[in-house]
Structure 1
Amino acid sequence: MIGSKGRMTKDGIRIYEEADFTGMAAAGKLAAEILDDVAELVTVGQTTGVIDKFIEDRVNAAGATSATIGYKGYKHASCISINHVVCHGIPG
């Protein structure tokens, strides 16, 4: 469900409405479900490309839209890094 995306105050602060929170909750629930399910794929030797494809397929199957695909030309549904790298990575 797409809400109104709130209104902006004169100071540039977005004020959200109930419909906006409903959409945020649905997106958060789907993200949590996908994270729970993708955990099984996170194994030694698994490629980040396979994991990203799984995530993209789950987002599409839910009828949702990835916030990352298409953002400034980005082509992936996730920002995966391996091991203990603390930065966004590009699946490959």
Structure 2
Amino acid sequence: MSKYFAELHSVLQQNDLLEAPERIYNIDETGFCTEHTPPMVVCGSECKPQAITSPRTRTVTIVCGANAIGNNIPPFYVFPGKRWVDHL
């Protein structure tokens, strides 16, 4: 673990980020199924139920981010759409 933090310190120092936490961001995304209607799952008490989703369900993706001092950026929503057409 100490090797990781030593390398992290080195990278932060090389990029002049040690004194600029407002420039360090973490961005993540997650998807939500908008048409989730799983069938009833029946299993014994020793089983863990599993949700089964179809690859054809519509998903909304949400992208969120915040920097190291706690400022966040507004969430970015990605809705299902059509394929991109290059000539448009």
Same fold (TM over 0.5): no
Greater relative contact order (Cα 8 A, min sep 6): structure 1 or 2? Answer: 2
TM-score (norm 1): 0.28
- The structure with the greater share of residues assigned to strand is 2
- The structure with the greater share of residues assigned to helix is 1
| Bigger-Rg structure (1/2) | 2
TM-score (norm 2): 0.29
